């Protein structure tokens, strides 16, 4: 409270101050007859619809956008996207909903559905991320099997490839090449090979009721990954 008995601005809770600022900004956007999407798009874009770099940004605009994209602000770009991912408003209804699953629910992490055709944030962002990773994996794979890559092999003539030409040394070289040339792909393979085994009930005929299945013997993830890559 201030000396005159009235509440001062400093006495307000942080969320109340944030909400007040948000309301002011949102009303300004409405007055401009824009949506939040319009504001974020025109604030963020680097090229126009024809792919021509945007010219004529004000110093305030370019300065604030540059600080944000460089991560010089307390709230960074990844923090914003994480909030969009977590927010249930951007999640289409699943089959558990009383109204049934929304069509876009089947496109979450889609490897081929164009994200621009999706309206909900969660399927659009996850599909965009999945396709970015897919494109990078294909790019590095094509590089690795080129003549300059570490996985390019050839034999002179038309003779069949014999097993004697491929042994432990060849696998070691291939593993090293994958680790260096396709680190993202290799990390995914190792992560999947080292995932925690699922606990499930035993299906053995002589197993007592309620008995759990015995987990498989441990196998080094590098060997598991190699076996899936050849």
Predicted confidence at residue 200, as pLDDT, reads 65
DSSP character string of 55-106: ----HHHHHHHHHHHHT-SSS-HHHHHHHHHH-GGGSPP-TTSTT---GGGG
Residue 22's nearest CA partner among 30, 7, 120 is 30
- pLDDT tens per residue, the chain (230 residues)? 445 544 455 566 788 889 999 999 999 999 999 999 999 999 999 888 888 888 878 999 999 999 999 999 999 999 999 999 999 999 999 988 878 889 999 999 999 999 999 999 999 999 999 999 999 999 988 888 776 766 665 444 545 555 555 556 767 777 787 888 888 988 888 888 887 666 666 666 676 776 666 655 555 555 555 555 55
Alpha helices in the chain (DSSP H): 14-31, 36-44, 59-70, 77-86, 121-144, 168-181, 183-193, 221-229
Residue 230's nearest CA partner among 173, 192, 181, 191 is 173
Q: How far apart (Å, rounded) are the C-alpha atoms in residues 210 and 200?
A: 10
Predicted confidence at residue 143, as pLDDT, reads 85
Predicted confidence at residue 145, as pLDDT, reads 79
């Amino acid at each position: 409270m201030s000396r005159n008995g009235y509440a001062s601005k400093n006495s307000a809770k942080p969320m109340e101050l944030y909400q007040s600022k948000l309301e002011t900004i949102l009303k300004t956007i409405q007055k401009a007859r824009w949506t939040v999407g319009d504001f974020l798009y025109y604030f963020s874009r680097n090229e126009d619809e024809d792919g021509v770099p945007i010219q004529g940004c004000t110093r305030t605009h370019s300065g604030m956008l540059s600080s944000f994209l460089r991560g010089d602000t307390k709230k960074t770009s990844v923090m914003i996207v994480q909030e969009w991912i977590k927010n249930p408003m951007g999640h289409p209804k699943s089959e558990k909903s009383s109204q049934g699953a929304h069509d876009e629910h089947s496109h979450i992490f889609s490897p081929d559905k164009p994200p621009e055709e999706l309206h909900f944030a969660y399927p659009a962002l996850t599909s965009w991320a999945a396709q970015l990773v897919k494109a990078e994996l294909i790019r590095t794979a094509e590089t690795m099997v080129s003549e300059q890559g570490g996985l390019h092999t050839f034999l002179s003539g038309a003779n069949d490839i014999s097993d004697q030409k491929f042994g432990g040394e060849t696998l070691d070289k291939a593993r090293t090449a994958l680790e260096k040339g396709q680190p993202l792909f290799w990390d995914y393979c190792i992560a999947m090979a080292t995932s925690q085994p699922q606990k499930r009930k035993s299906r053995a005929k002589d197993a007592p009721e309620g008995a759990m299945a015995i987990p498989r013997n441990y196998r080094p993830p590098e060997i598991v990954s190699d076996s899936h890559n050849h």
